[in-house]
Amino acid sequence: MASTAERMKAMRARRRADGLREVRLNVPDARASATRQRIAEQVARLSPAAEQAALDWIEDVSEFDAAR
């Protein structure tokens, strides 16, 4: 049986042949207390009016796209 590294290499080759490319993302761990605290601080600074304007814009754009 092929090693793990060989199987991964073959899988990546198959995906490249299908026109796909691997992308890796590193994101903050939402389970970490420091991350949760930072998010809470940022949410507390949000402007309700600005957030509502953004939501209204998203709704307008989605309706525009659906009307085609």
DSSP assigned state of 32: S
User: Which of 12-21, 35-44, 57-66 has the weakest average pLDDT?
Assistant: 57-66
The per-residue pLDDT for range 22-50, each reduced to its tens digit, is 899 999 999 999 999 999 999 999 999 99
Contact 30, 39 (CB under 8 A): yes
- Residue 2's pLDDT is 85
Q: Which range, of 13-17, 32-36, 47-51, 62-66, averages the lowest pLDDT?
A: 62-66
pLDDT at 68 over 60: no
Report the percent of the chain where pLDDT is more than 70.
Answer: 91
Q: Closest Cα partner for 29 from 21, 38, 19, 20? A: 38
